[in-house]
Amino acid sequence: GNSVTQMEGPVTLSEEAFLTINCTYTATGYPSLFWYVQYPGEGLQLLLKATKADDKGSNKGFEATYRKETTSFHLEKGSVQVSDSAVYFCALSERGSYIPTFGRGTSLIVHP
């Protein structure tokens, strides 16, 4: 079956540091890949997505590139802010599927 593995957190950074959150996946087909973000006290919201190999998703300064050869979709940001403190979930969905597979989430804490 499908699976998504994320690095365990919490990830603790100082403001303006570079962020990488690793995500690797196992899938039987050619999935679409997603990053969701959950700010404190809120539900999840889509941060970015990529639907095919070598696509780059980007939003709010975050980027992730769909790497089929390494089955990865790592999230990066060049300079984090305190307001980026949240839990980040990597997810995949196969073509024809209605149910996504989520990673366990990675908590990011950014200090001033």
> Does residue 105 touch another protein according to CB under 8 A?
yes
Q: Which of residues 24-83 bind another protein (CB under 8 A)?
A: 31-32, 34, 36, 41-46, 49, 51
**Is residue 62 within 8 Å of residue 77, measured between CB atoms?**
yes
Round to whole Å and give the CA distance between 98 and 53.
21
> Does residue 88 touch another protein according to CB under 8 A?
no
Among 28, 40, 69, 95, binds another protein (CB under 8 A): 95
Q: Computed from CA positions of residues 95, 27, 71, 61, in that sequence, does the dihedral angle turn out positive or negative?
A: positive
- Binding footprint of another protein on the chain (CB under 8 A): 31-32, 34, 36, 41-46, 49, 51, 89, 93-100, 102-105
